[in-house]
Amino acid sequence: MTSEELILSQAQELRRGTVVLACLALLEEPQYGYALLETLNDAGVTVDGNTLYPLLRRLEKQGLLTSEWNTDEARPRKFYRVGPEGSAVRAGLVREWQDLVASMARLTKENE
């Protein structure tokens, strides 16, 4: 495996844990799955549908998201939104993220 391939592989591992936080942050306003997928990808949080849709169902089952079907259009869409428990978890994850970023900044600065 080349260095570039290793970097890509490890970068994917770094991003994997950020998808939950990104979803909880973005779903303050209701969105359906495909729109959320596009928003995440446009923001540089690369995720595919085979990862996102099971994640949304899991977060809903955990009580972090609520969902509602919109049948006003020809094609029904399931909209997701952060629930009260999801808002509390998001706040905790943001604190954890900020602590982690600060720690990594210190570690990487020390190794320069």
Question: Tens digits of per-residue pLDDT, 12-69?
Answer: 888 888 999 999 999 999 999 999 999 999 998 989 999 999 999 999 999 999 999 9
Whether residue 112 has pLDDT greater than 70: no
3-state secondary structure of 111: coil
What distance in Å separates the CA atoms of residue 57 and residue 63, rounded to the nearest whole number? 10
Q: How many residues does the chain have?
A: 112
pLDDT of residue 93: 96
What number is the average pLDDT over the span 66-80?
A: 91
CB 26 within 8 A of CB 56: no
